[in-house]
Amino acid sequence: MDVSGIHNLYGITPVAGMPQKSEKVDATTGFQSMLDSVMTLLEDTNQLQKNANKEQVAFALGETTNTHDLMIAERKAGIALQYTVAVRDRILESYQQIMQMQV
């Protein structure tokens, strides 16, 4: 698969925050930053779920008739949950691969 055309679209500059080949990543710091980002993801997903529930209750009680805001809140919460589940699956898959390594 030829991916050289991607450089024309995005350039060859590295993504900010990603370690370069010459940089060393401390195992503790790298894991801690990954753990912090996962915890932030969980908090954001939880907040979006709460917002969607709040919109549902407000709509059910008749406090608002704006179905547009309700659908946006539900869609944001659904997408965030799908993303969180995908990240969880990748972490579990990585863990299982590490546990199967022969030493």
- pLDDT at residue 4 is higher than 80: no
Whether 58 is covered by a domain: the verdict is yes
Contact 84, 49 (CB under 8 A): no
Does the residue 61 lie in any domain?
yes
The answer as to whether 5 is a domain residue is: no
Best CA proximity match to 76, nearest among 30, 29, 100, 44:
44
Give residue 86's pLDDT. Answer: 94
pLDDT tens by residue, 35-94: 898 899 999 999 999 999 999 999 999 998 889 999 999 999 999 999 999 999 999 999
pLDDT at 7 over 80: no
- 22 located within any domain: no
How far apart, in whole angstroms, are the C-alpha atoms of residue 75 and residue 87?
A: 18
CA-wise closest residue to 76 among 45, 37, 41, 40: 45
pTM above 0.75, yes or no: no
Provide the domain limits for residue 91: 35-103
In-domain check, residue 46: yes
Note the pLDDT of residue 43: 95
Backbone angles phi, psi at 51, to 5 degrees: -65, -40
Total domains in the fold of the chain: 1
Structural domain includes residue 26 = no
Asked if residue 57 is part of any domain, the answer here is yes
CA–CA gap between residue 68 and residue 62 (Å, rounded) = 14
Report pLDDT digits (tens) over 13-39: 555 555 555 566 676 678 788 889 889
